[in-house]
Amino acid sequence: MKKIKIIFFLFFFIALTFNLSFSVPGDIVSSFPSPGTCPTGLTFDGKYLWVADHKTDTLYQIDPKNGEIKNSLSSPGFRPSGLAWDGKYLWNVDLEENLIYQVEPKTGIAVKTIYCPSSSPMGLCWDGKYLWVSDSRADKIYQISPEDGTTIITLPSPSSTPQGLSWDGKYLWVSDRIADKIFMITPDKGEVIVAFESPNSYARGLAWDGKYLWNVDYQSDTIYKIKVEDEEVLKRKEKKSQSLEYTHEFRNYGPGEIKELKIYIAIPENLPNQDLLDSVQFEPQPEDILIDKWGQKVAFFRFKSLKPTEFKRVSMKTKANLYQTDYFIFPEKVGKLEDIPEQIKRKYLIDDTKFRIDDPFIKRSAEEAFGSEKNPYWIARKLYNFVLDKMHYELAGGWNIAPTVLKRGSGSCSEYSFVYIALCRASGIPARYAGSVAIRGDDASLDEVFHRWCEIYLPNYGWIPVDPSGGDRPSPWAQSKAFGHLANRYLITTIGGGGSEYLGWGYNSSEKWTSLGKCKIYTEHIGEWSPLGEGSKLEE
């Protein structure tokens, strides 16, 4: 068994190194043509798929194995859209009539008609008791009574143009044709848990067969069978090959003397979001390579006797492939708090000066946020929602401690990170931070602001990126993207759990000095990005 595990991890490492592709949620299992050229709604009756077609005004019953038509019914309205199956009857929402019909599947007779709660209904599904309707103009999703169409719950759409809907027994699935995404959302608040690209460019109806998700695409006139859950939890895409020169400059304007100057530069390594293409280069050469208590490698430089107006410059150059990384986290697959390894708990549940996890305000806030929740995913997600609700982004100056920042209600990315880490650790969720140099806009750009976010440890998944300051946005999808997602514009230099003996509470680099007399000090830190073109050393 041990040998098998070693072989698996070696293969996984090789796959990451050479960018091999694993099967992930959202991958297409099979596909076949839809029976008409304007397909809209889709549902599953336990044995067959049903697809609505706007052009032919027909509801088709088809074999999910090959797309063979088994039966067809004339739609009860003139513009059939979403379809649902309640175990006995078909339900069909009509976009022109704004009506929802209950249809007897053998005869095609509409045995009941109810009013739709909105003017542009698209998707329809059945959750075992109620119907759900999506509206592409209102950007809303409604739970309604099948008795008379009374609205019970109204949810925000995860994105701008919701189309198909499906129910998997616990979560809603929503397709969006502008975002070209399919979302898994909670039925109580509409929070996005999982999102992946739709199979094609105009995703309409969705259906759930108990294991797989089905999607009919209006542009390609194709029905796709989609994998939802898989052993692989991470997808890397949108590779960006970049060169970075990071410069740390120290100036002494005097009139006194700097007796000794120490500069520390964090050394980046291969991580899920980044592959280094060459060894990291320094100018001048460091005196030593050190490792701090968090395991972070730093290049150490020492200079003696800086006279007035003298300055020192240290630079680090590296080339890397950067990836957008998406983690597919299913809450029910996350282990329990007691499943977290002891070495992780000992290292990433401790207190530190910026966190103050024993502060009464932090403790009360954590308890208010997650209540009696036991699932680590939902504890972390509720703490994340709490921070988004209580704070807004603001560069207020300095890096204050977590209780102060949370009471103030605003902070920088670093202060957001201190607050979220403090709340997580106070709740039993191991948390740390990642610091990076960021691409600002164009691939050829300059970064002198930098960015920090958090990572949390979820049993059965490992370390997951969470960016609470990046989630400070209005839409459910934008908020969810900062939980388990990382854009391809960051080179992580620093992984830390708190104060470092070399980097302090900073990241990327830091300096320490001793002085004699009055010294006016100025430091500058710049990350200069350049895209790697032809002739550069790229990953094959």
pLDDT at 180 over 90: yes
What type of residue is 228?
V
pLDDT at 481 over 50: yes
Whole-angstrom CA distances from 264 to 297, 500, 501 are: 10, 11, 10
d(CA 489, CA 529): 10
pLDDT at 110 over 90: yes
d(CA 255, CA 368): 54
Burial zone of 91 (CB within 10 Å; 0-12 exposed, 13-18 middle, 19+ buried)? buried
d(CA 494, CA 511): 15
Task: Give exposure, 321-330, as e/b (b: 16+ Cβ within 10 Å).
Answer: bbbbbbbbbb
Q: How confident is the model at residue 336 (pLDDT cuts 50, 70, 90)?
A: very high
Sheet of 213-217, strands arranged across: 28-33, 222-226, 213-217, 203-208
pLDDT at 395 over 70: yes
Q: How confident is the model at residue 187 (pLDDT cuts 50, 70, 90)?
A: very high
Residue 472 has what pLDDT?
78
Q: At what angle do helices 413-426 and 360-370 cross, to 10 degrees?
A: 80
Residue 448 has what pLDDT?
92
- HSE-CB of 165 using CA atoms within 13 angstroms: 38
**Span 286-307, mean pLDDT?**
97
pLDDT at 10 over 80: no
DSSP codes of every residue in 19-74: T-----TT-EEEEEE-SSSSEEEEEE-SS-EEEEETTTTEEEEE-TTT--EEEEEE
CA angle at 293 for the pair 291 and 295, rounded to the nearest 5°: 55
Give the pTM. 0.91
**Span 140-147, mean pLDDT?**
97
The domains located in the chain, with CATH, are 21-232 (2.120.10.30), 325-496 (3.10.620.30)
Taking a C-beta distance cutoff of 8 angstroms, is the pair 434, 494 a contact?
yes
Closest CA relative to residue 429, chosen from 295, 498, 364, 335: 335
**Span 337-349, mean pLDDT?**
97
**Span 32-48, mean pLDDT?**
97
d(CA 319, CA 245): 9
Closest CA relative to residue 507, chosen from 496, 516, 517: 496
d(CA 352, CA 422): 9
Residue 533 has what pLDDT?
76
Which two tokens mark 140? 């809303």
Closest CA relative to residue 41, chosen from 218, 241, 252: 218
d(CA 9, CA 45): 41
pLDDT at 11 over 50: no
Q: Which of left, alpha, beta for 131 (phi over 0: left; psi -120 to 50: alpha)?
A: beta
- HSE-CB of 266 using CA atoms within 13 angstroms: 29
d(CA 164, CA 182): 9
Residue entry with tokens 């088994």: 70
pLDDT at 247 over 50: yes
> What φ, ψ does residue 340 adopt, rounded to 5°?
-70, 130
Whole-angstrom CA distances from 376 to 109, 329, 425 are: 49, 12, 12
- The 10s digit of each residue's pLDDT in 198-227 is 999 999 999 999 999 999 999 999 999 999
- The 10s digit of each residue's pLDDT in 71-102 is 999 999 999 999 999 999 999 999 999 999 99
Q: How confident is the model at residue 22 (pLDDT cuts 50, 70, 90)?
A: low
pLDDT at 471 over 90: no
Whole-angstrom CA distances from 480 to 158, 195, 395, 466 are: 9, 9, 23, 9
Q: Which of left, alpha, beta for 147 (phi over 0: left; psi -120 to 50: alpha)?
A: alpha
> Regarding predicted confidence, which is higher, 456 or 21?
456
Q: How high is the mean pLDDT of the chain? A: 93
pLDDT at 112 over 60: yes
- Percent pLDDT > 90 in the chain is 89
Residue 441 has what pLDDT?
87
**Span 328-357, mean pLDDT?**
97
Sign of CA dihedral 426, 486, 450, 276: positive
Residue 396 has what pLDDT?
73
pLDDT at 474 over 80: no
d(CA 258, CA 521): 9
**Span 257-261, mean pLDDT?**
95
